[in-house]
Structure 1
């Protein structure tokens, strides 16, 4: 059986037409070095987490440069990557951000970012000194119901942020007049915990791993964790949900994001590589060794999570009388 051979030009034209009909074809990401902006200083939990992510992403063959921009409580870093070209080569840390708009410091909303993947969640916890008269979470709640200003409560850093927002949300659910709560900022959790151990503070709100040294020294006791379930590393610590029946959780969280307007196909490609980095033994073992929690959300679930974060932050800060209504 015989047939005519198609001219090369005809075959080439058919190939081009088929490619056009199939839509744009993205090059494999990354084809050049990537900048990953961390909105916190070197040496902390955020820096550690994203250097682990960067190390694993580099296995794709391109350098991933971690750039720390902690100025202005992270605002400089957020502004830096949200104003970048949405081509996937400038990405950044996305952590609790809703307080900036409420405080009038920036106009970030969930739509300011392209969420790619969540990789870390560390729940807030409620800590007292070992010799404190407060023996339980229920006693903390009772004291605050009787007199909201009766306890000096350290936010474990900046107030209206990661550690105190879920605590205040729980107190709201318990009927406490949260506008009267005495929340005290500190120069980080370590400073707040030292004040707790020396008697200057009644309660510190921060993650559990940050208390390890003082707990081991017999100076600090954790009353409850604001998590959905008990932490694997601390199985003896009860959750606030168990103790109160109020389904209130929260703390800090860290994810990878880019500027608004990124191509969905590119987002899916980067998300897949971040998931591979997240699932790697290097990331999982490194996080576990430091006591940091791991949790993965893809782009769609992360986007919904951001909306819930905005709603909770608005509710709590409104109840505290902070910012615009």
Structure 2
């Protein structure tokens, strides 16, 4: 009996010691460089937002945050990279609208594949044309779409059936356009789509307004409408879609930080604290404001509820457009 008690005591002490060591390790996170996977190409809004956050994290933690762009497959490669990584906090990634992949049969990601850590950004979709385009307004685009839904080459600013084009398609649906015929073209991020727009390979690009700033300042791109409830403070001359059409359709993208499933709650709390600190810094908030990007912070629990709602809404919208099965099927 005494030997058994001694054995149990040793086991319990070992467990307690390992837990203590783990706790100390989490408290000191990160103790080495962290990889931050961006599921979009260089030069776009996702790239800017995540690199801005990475700079803040580096300043706070004194460790490198290696930003790695993996836009292949509309971001599927990037999502696969970090959801397949060890749940130790050293490979994190951008989490943005993802539910469309499963609905379209492109990948099997669900909220269960991720550990949501923090939401940091929300932005409405907008509609952009080349300055020399024959389309001078959102009204012009709608009239062309009604006459021939397939006549325009429309870049999704990334993967299609996602954050930028779903609100636009919903608007076209409300306008009576046969949305099954719309010519949507995926791109390796908004920057790539906008370059195609300027070169004449695309008629319309769907993405956020801040992503067009450089090209707009150069007189190459103009924005004809934004899918928001009201005009954006930095872009007061851009009308909302509702102003043009009378249809209250809005929507866009969001960006946050996540890790693979199975991360320890204590580690999640430590990382969330560091991200929140970087988010609230003058460098991050000032940089986002200067570029016109929206800021919104949700911690891990609220972010988890947010992405569950995203899955439901995506399924409902895409079912209405003829994709996938009905919710619950």
Q: How is 1:2-41 mapped onto 2 (pairs within 5 angstroms)?
A: 26-27=23-24, 28-33=27-32, 34-41=34-41
Q: 1:79 to 1:293 in 2, by over 3 A?
A: same
Distance 1:219 1:305, change over 3 A: same
Alignment-derived partner of residue 184 in structure 1: 185
1:117 is displaced (CA, Å) by 0.9
**Inter-partner Cα distance in structure 2 for 1:123 and 1:194:** 21
Shift, 1:194, TM fit: 5.4
Does 2:210 align with 1:221?
no
Q: Whole-Å Cα distance in 2 between the matches of residues 268 and 276 of structure 1?
A: 12
Q: Distance in 2 between matches of 1:41 and 1:214?
A: 17
Task: Compute the TM-score of the two structures, normalised by the length of structure 2.
Answer: 0.77
Mapped to 1, the partners of 2:91 and 2:174 lie a distance apart of 40
Whether the 8 Å CA contact 2:45–2:211 is kept in 1: the answer is no
Once residues 122 and 148 of structure 1 are traced to their aligned partners in structure 2, the CA distance between those partners, rounded to angstroms, is 26
- Partner of 2:106, secondary structure, is coil
Structure 1 residue 201: Cα displacement: 4.4
- The 2-side partners of 1:189 and 1:271 are apart by 28
Q: In structure 1, what is the equivalent of residue 3 of structure 2? A: none
The corresponding residue for 1:87 is 88
Change (3 A) 1:62 1:221: closer
CA distance in structure 2 between the aligned counterparts of 1:231 and 1:100, rounded to whole angstroms = 30
Query: 1: distance between equivalents of 2:181 and 2:318?
Result: 13
Q: How far apart, CA to CA, are the structure 2 residues paired with 1:199 and 1:254?
A: 29
CA shift, 1:198, in A, is 6.3
User: 1:96-135 to 2 correspondence within 5 Å?
Assistant: 96-130=97-131, 132=133, 134-135=135-136
> 1:240 & 1:125 partners in 2: Cα distance?
9
**Alignment match, 1:294:** 295
What residue is the counterpart of 2:170 in the other structure? 169
Further displaced range: 170-179 or 160-169: 170-179
1:107-149 CA-to-partner distances (Å, cap 9, x unmatched) read 1012211111111223221123446554543443344345433
CA–CA distance in structure 1, aligned partners of residues 289 and 195 of structure 2: 25
Matching residue of 1:56? 56
Q: Which residues of structure 2 form unaligned runs of 5+?
A: 1-11
SS at match of 1:51: helix
CA separation in 2, counterparts of 1:193 and 1:63? 31
Matched, 1:47 2:40: no
Tell me the residue number matched to 2:6: none
Change (3 A) 1:69 1:232: same
Tell me the distance in 2 between the aligned counterparts of 1:83 and 1:199: 39
| 1:270 match: secondary structure | helix
Change over 3 Å in CA distance of 1:214–1:91 after alignment to 2 = closer
Give the root-mean-square deviation of aligned CA atoms: 3.4
Matches within 5 A, 1:230-249: 230-249=231-250
* Conserved 8 A contact 2:174-2:247: yes
**What does the per-residue CA deviation read over 1:36-61, in whole Å, with 9 as the maximum and x for residues that have no partner?**
22223445433332232222223134
Structure 1 contact 93–254 (Cα < 8 Å) conserved: yes
Answer whether contact 1:30 1:62 (CA < 8 A) is retained. no
| Runs of 4+ with >6 A deviation | none
Structure 1, 147-156 or 131-140: larger mean CA deviation = 131-140
Q: Which runs of 5+ in 1 are unaligned?
A: 1-15
Q: CA distance change for structure 1 residues 129 and 68 in 2, over 3 Å: closer, same or farther?
A: closer
Q: Distance in 2 between matches of 1:41 and 1:129?
A: 21
SS of the equivalent of 1:93 reads strand
Measure, in 1, the Cα distance between the counterparts of 2:38 and 2:134. Answer: 40
In the alignment, the residues of structure 2 paired with residue 135 and residue 103 of structure 1 have an alpha-carbon distance, to the nearest angstrom, of 33
Bigger Cα displacement from structure 2, 199-208 vs 47-56 = 199-208
Count of residues in correspondence between the two structures: 307
Equivalent residues of 1:178, 1:319 under 8 A apart: no
More displaced 10-residue stretch of structure 1: 39-48 or 162-171: 39-48
Contact 1:211 1:220 in 2 (8 A): yes
Could you tell me how far 1:266 is from its partner in structure 2? 3.3
Mapped partners of 2:201, 2:90: distance in 1: 47
